[in-house]
Amino acid sequence: MQFVLYADSWRKTLPAMGTGMLGIFAVIGAIVCVVYLLARLTRKK
Protein backbone atom coordinates (compact mmCIF):
# COMPACT_ATOMS: atom_id res chain seq x y z
CA MET A 1 0.00 0.00 0.00
CA GLN A 2 1.34 3.41 -0.93
CA PHE A 3 1.01 6.66 0.97
CA VAL A 4 -1.17 9.31 -0.63
CA LEU A 5 -1.30 12.85 0.71
CA TYR A 6 -4.77 14.36 0.65
CA ALA A 7 -3.60 17.97 0.86
CA ASP A 8 -7.03 19.57 0.50
CA SER A 9 -8.82 17.29 2.98
CA TRP A 10 -8.84 20.14 5.51
CA ARG A 11 -11.61 21.80 3.51
CA LYS A 12 -13.91 19.03 4.74
CA THR A 13 -12.30 17.95 8.00
CA LEU A 14 -11.78 21.40 9.55
CA PRO A 15 -15.46 22.40 9.39
CA ALA A 16 -16.34 18.86 10.53
CA MET A 17 -14.07 19.34 13.55
CA GLY A 18 -15.92 22.53 14.49
CA THR A 19 -19.35 21.03 13.85
CA GLY A 20 -18.45 17.90 15.78
CA MET A 21 -17.28 19.76 18.90
CA LEU A 22 -20.28 22.07 18.73
CA GLY A 23 -22.55 19.07 18.29
CA ILE A 24 -21.15 17.17 21.24
CA PHE A 25 -21.53 20.19 23.54
CA ALA A 26 -25.09 20.71 22.28
CA VAL A 27 -26.10 17.09 22.92
CA ILE A 28 -24.42 16.96 26.32
CA GLY A 29 -25.97 20.34 27.15
CA ALA A 30 -29.41 18.96 26.32
CA ILE A 31 -28.77 15.88 28.49
CA VAL A 32 -27.58 18.06 31.39
CA CYS A 33 -30.76 20.17 31.14
CA VAL A 34 -32.93 17.05 31.14
CA VAL A 35 -31.08 15.66 34.17
CA TYR A 36 -31.65 18.90 36.11
CA LEU A 37 -35.30 18.77 35.08
CA LEU A 38 -35.61 15.13 36.15
CA ALA A 39 -33.98 15.94 39.48
CA ARG A 40 -36.41 18.79 40.05
CA LEU A 41 -39.45 16.70 39.11
CA THR A 42 -38.49 13.62 41.09
CA ARG A 43 -36.99 15.28 44.19
CA LYS A 44 -38.50 14.02 47.41
CA LYS A 45 -40.23 16.75 49.40
Partner 1 sequence: MGVLQELERLASNFGNLTWQMVVMWVIGGVLIYLAIGKKMEPSLLLPMGFGAILVNLPFSGAVTQGEIVGPITALFEAGMSNELFPLLLFIGIGAMIDFGPLLEKPWLMFFGAAAQFGIFFTFFLAGFFFELPDAASIAVIGAADGPTAIFVANVLHSRYLGPIMVVAYSYMALVPIVQPPVIRLMTTRKERRIRMAYRKGSVSRVERILFPIAVTIIAGLVAPASVALVGFLMFGNLLRECGVLKSLSETAQNVLANLITLLLGLTVAGQMTADRFITPQTLLILGLGLVAFVFDTAGGVLFAKLINLFLPADKKLNPMIGAAGISAFPMSGRVVNQMGLAEDNQNFLLMYSVSVNVSGQIASVIAGGLLLTLMGV
Q: Does 45 bind partner 1 (CB under 8 A)?
A: no
CA distances from 30 to 17, 26, 33 (A): 20, 6, 5
Q: Does 39 bind partner 1 (CB under 8 A)?
A: yes
- In the complex, minimum distance from the CB of residue 33 to partner 1, in angstroms, rounded to a whole number: 9
- In the complex, minimum distance from the CB of residue 16 to partner 1, in angstroms, rounded to a whole number: 5
Return d(Cα 40, Cα 29) in angstroms, integer: 17
Phi-psi region of 6 (alpha: psi -120 to 50; beta: other; left: phi over 0): beta
Residues that bind partner 1 (CB under 8 A): 1, 3-7, 9-10, 12-14, 16-17, 19-21, 23-32, 34-36, 38-39, 42-44
